[in-house]
Chain A
Amino acid sequence: MSALTQWLRDPSPQSRLQARLGQSFMGWLRFRRNPLAMAGLAVVLLLLVVAAFAPWLAPYDPIAQNLKLRLLPPLTAGHPLGTDDFGRDILSRLIMGSRITLFIITLVAVTAPLFGMLVGTIAGYFGGWTDEILMRVTDIFLAFPKLILALALVAVLGPGMENAVLAIALTSWPPYARVARAETLTVRNSDYIAAVRLQGAGAARIIWGHVMPMCLPSVIIRVTLDMAGVILIAAGLGFLGLGVQPPMPEWGAMISAGRKYLFEQWWVATMPGLAIFIVSLGFNLLGDGLRDVLDPRNSGK
């Protein structure tokens, strides 16, 4: 055992930094014991690497068309995953599309839960009129079908990837608000909140530092469950011409383009579908493992 791991495992750390690093290290050890979570991490890391080096990894230009080579089946020499209806290499398009997918997922997974949690904890903490108003607004957002609302927003903002992300984020926060509010209601009257209030803490400090950490686990679970849905809504917007615009290799848009050939040339829609499936599975597994690690109550074991 090296001096570093010894230092990290020190049961009585000397400084705040050592304590925090030690906790992260123990968390990592626990995470490593969970093979499914490690598989999820591997998938997500692979996605990151592929996205980072996409231009060098892609064998062909993902946009260049070659109609002589259209709809080649998988395992054709030079095109391991086949080509689509314009003769573009599907593998190259998947690799380049990982960037767009990652961009959409990251932005939505950061903004929507954060906003939802803010709304939910504020509503739950203050109660009364604040709660009524915020939750009725949440209800209005929930009452619309997600895709329709996203459509309306994109129609107002104009088509494009950024606006699609914004629209998806704006439509997917209400469930997080609901979850966060429910958690807040269970902790707001607890003694530890009363204690910090008695110490003179303001509402912002209590909500951010004391209530939100209690809501985090349930919100993280929801985020990982919603990942696949986010990719699909982005795809739906792309399909309707309001999200990522056609020549761009976005996975969802590729599925909708392949829909026309689903019975004769199945691979055109199946390959991006598989990619979405693997990535969402990876995020789900990773999220499950993270949730176990993030709960300090498990760390004693």
Chain B
Amino acid sequence: MALIEIENLSVTFTAKGRKVRAVQGVSLSVNERESFGLVGESGSGKSTILRAICGMAPITGGTIRIGGQPLPTPRGRAFSRQVQMVFQDPYASLHPRHTIDRTLSEPLAIHGLADTDARVVQALKDVGLPAAFRFRFPHQLSGGQRQRVAIARALMLEPSILLLDEPTSALDASVQAETLNLLNRLRTERGLTFLMVSHDLAVIDHMCDRVLVMQHGRAVEELARETLAAAGMTTDYARSLFAASADRMLET
């Protein structure tokens, strides 16, 4: 049985009387320990699916099940221990006035977990940051280091599912590769399930077992990694996306 099952999901935002249908009838399922990618251009609704899972977007149709159970609304604490998210922009996702220590110990405090000091030190070590960074503020860190902190924060509650919202698009190329490798290592070490959003097929190719191509809020085509590498997609849109990033995929 799949760990994440999304059936016929629709998300509609209402702003000033106008309705924007961000996601229309998308279905997907992600198996345990699988890494699943969502690709598409800006505004294709891929990030909205992640936000809908987290209860941060208005679901107007369809169901989301995790481990066979439909999600409760509001999501609740059990959900936080099962699903966590890494945001796109590491400059916006860490509280500017909290030290790294505070940022990492907050989830422990919320869930009343003991052993804060040891866990925070271990978390920094797991994402390859020196313990000396513990009491620094986010503005004293580089973009790549901040994203590592954000990953460490997402793993504090030891979730089984990690939602990744373009985790490397705000970073420069060399740091991107490091961060992706870190994520891959953590996935194998901890047996995590990834649901990852990107507009970059090269990143998806490096990370994911299966990909869903999206356009205008609809699913276009689902591809396995082998199909993607062999350029065996059947729709024109997927082929044009592939053409746009093909040269960089050869490098990796």
A residues near B (Cβ < 8 Å) are 11-13, 16, 19, 22-23, 190-192, 194-201, 205, 209-210, 213-214, 296-297, 299-300
Contacts and interface: CB of A to CB of B under 8 A. Distances in A.
A115 B89 CA distance: 34
Contacts, number: 86
B92 A205 contact: no
Given A195-B153, A205-B110, A296-B96, A200 B137 contact: no
Interface stretch (B15-23, B65-73, B77-85): B77-85
A224 B97 CA distance: 22
B106 A201 contact: yes
Nearest to B140: A300
Interface of B: 54, 56, 75-77, 79-81, 83-85, 87-89, 92-99, 101, 106-107, 110-111, 130-132, 134-135, 137, 139-140, 150, 153, 156-157
B56 A296 contact: no
Contacts of B140: 300
A19 B135 contact: yes
Contacts of A197: 56
Contact of B95 (A23, A205, A210, A300): A210
User: Interface majority SS on A: helix, strand, loop or mixed?
Assistant: helix
B48 to A, nearest CB: 13
A133 to B, nearest CB: 22
B80 to A, nearest CB: 4
Contacts of B83: 198
B56 A194 contact: yes
A197 B107 CA distance: 10
B99 A19 contact: yes
B93 A200 contact: no
A53 to B, nearest CB: 38
A195 B101 contact: no
Given A16-B101, A16-B135, A195-B153, A200 B96 contact: no
Contacts of A13: 134-135
Contact of B89 (A191, A201, A213, A299): A191
